[in-house]
Structure 1
Amino acid sequence: MKQIPQGPLQARELRGAHSGPFDLDLPPGCCTVLSGPSGIGKSLLLRMLADLDPNQGRVSLAGISRESVPASSWRRLVTYLAAESGWWEDDVAAHFTDLDAVRPLLPQVNLDPALLQAQVLQLSTGERQRLALLRAVVQNPRFLLLDEPTAALDPASRDGVEQLLKRLQAQGTGLLLVSHDSEQARRLADARLQLDSQGLREVAQ
């Protein structure tokens, strides 16, 4: 895969079968919070940016077009994290290629490192949500597209996730975060977008 420098994630005329067109400019190292009514297509927008759902339009990272990057590589660079994460093996550890990389991150989001030896069926919804986030983080994405990443969490765990996200930002990772929590948006957002029946627009902080 070609080396891609740090730079913005941009979309022009991005559209799906029933949504768009969308224009986006997401800077590296910044958190953009996306809000809007349920069912309006926020998750679909994130999935189109990650090239997980059929779409048309131009998407680029640091000026390099999505089409010039293998799909699997693009999805590691521009990583979508669903509100309900997918698990395909029985053991938690089987979902991580580098256990040494993820182990020190677990306490940062209020998780016991012993969970790496657990079965997925033993996990709570909140544990699965945080482990899926760490699974994405250890891939070193340039942008994380996060669909309500703290929806199932208690306040202490939510705070740990938010602090981790701020540390990732400080390292240059860009964030596009769907949240219905106005207080969370106030804590995290460098910019805010609203998606509704009128389309996608930037809103004042």
Structure 2
Amino acid sequence: MSPVLYALQDASLTYGRGRNKVLALQGVSLRIAPGERVALVGANGCGKSSLLRLLHGLLAPSTGTVERAVYLRQAMLFQRPFVLRMSVLRNLQLALWIAGQPWGQTRALAQAALQRVGLADLAGRNARHLSGGQQQRVALARAWALEPQVLLLDEPTASLDPHAKREVEALVEEFAHQSPTAALVFASHNLGQVKRLASRVVFLQQGCVLADLPVAEFFDREQVARHHPSLDAFLRGEAQ
């Protein structure tokens, strides 16, 4: 059996209690292996963000199981990147130190990561004063510096202007090419982005996985219309 980074079996996730109870995910079973590029797609509220948080360990399943590879190194980027009110360089240094790097080694590693994302000249700038696109690149540099086995992305370009979107997407693609054994799992509404970055697409509806397809099959409209009517409606813009 090939190695896996994540194995979910009948995983469900519930928010709230009583009348406020919301079933965000139900009966999700999937496996993600090294080197895969998995896109999570579906209408707003379908469970994409909840699934990413479940994979990352920020949430525990209400029922079912989520198993991760032993000593799995993972990093997650959110739609609105979280940066501390300190210099760009110090943001990266702190992340590396928390991850276990000796403080004396963090500066060189952080500088190298900023160089990779084209922000070396902004190392001394307060990270909170950067544009949205620059902050997302800082978050990518911070993740890159940790050398993750999995990069989890929650709509990483949704709030960016077209130029910043292209920059961030190019960096994500570079990560995937330079780390061929690392996995990429990302949520996106941008089907062009899915086509460019993904090797596999997981389609969610109301917290359930309705389709899990190689990217070529996902965009094969004839096959989708025949075998996956809900996905076909989504692709035709009828289930946004």
- Structure 1 length-normalised TM: 0.79
Does the CA-based 8 Å contact 1:150-1:158 persist in structure 2?
A: yes
Residue 15 of structure 1 aligns to which amino acid in structure 2?
S
- In the other structure, the counterpart of 1:195 is 204
Which shows bigger deviation, 165-174 or 15-24?
165-174
Unaligned runs of 5+ in 1: 1-5
- The one-letter code of the counterpart of 1:26 is I
Among 138, 145, 149, the alignment partner of 1:142 is 149
Paired positions, count: 188
State yes or no: 1:38 paired with 2:44.
yes
Percent identity at matched positions? 29
1:133-161: CA deviations, max 9, x gaps? 21112111111110011223344443343
Whole-Å separation in 1 of the counterparts to 2:174 and 2:81: 22
1:69-127 CA distance string (max 9 Å, x none): 6xxxx5xx132221112233333222112343343444554x43222211133111121
SS in 2 for 1:193: strand
* Match status 1:113 vs 2:113: no
C-alpha spacing 1:195/1:176, structure 2 compared with 1 (3 Å): same
Normalised TM-score (structure 2): 0.69
Q: Report the Cα offset of residue 131 of structure 1.
A: 0.8
The equivalences for 1:47-196 within 5 A come to 47-56=53-62, 57-62=64-69, 64=70, 77-97=73-93, 98-106=106-114, 108-109=116-117, 111-170=118-177, 171=179, 172-196=181-205
Could you tell me how far apart the structure 2 residues matched to 1:108 and 1:158 are? 17
Contact 2:149 2:182 in 1 (8 A): yes
Matching residue of 1:26: 32
- Structure 2: gaps (5+ residues): 15-22, 94-105, 219-240
Find the aligned partners of 1:145 and 1:58 in 2 and give their Cα distance: 19
The alignment status of 1:9 with 2:10, answered yes or no, reads no
CA distance in 1, matches of 2:4, 2:208: 25
RMSD: 2.3
Greater RCO, 1 or 2 (C-alpha within 8 Å, sep 6+):
1
What is the rounded CA distance, in whole Å, between the counterparts of 1:123 and 1:185 in structure 2? 27
Task: Say whether the 8 Å CA contact 2:26–2:207 is kept in structure 1.
Answer: no
More off after superposition, 8-17 vs 163-172: 163-172
Rate the CA distance shift 1:196–1:89 in 2: closer, same or farther, 3 A: same
1:9-37 deviations in Å (ceiling 9; x for gaps): 22112221122221121121121111111
> Which of 1 and 2 has greater Rg?
2
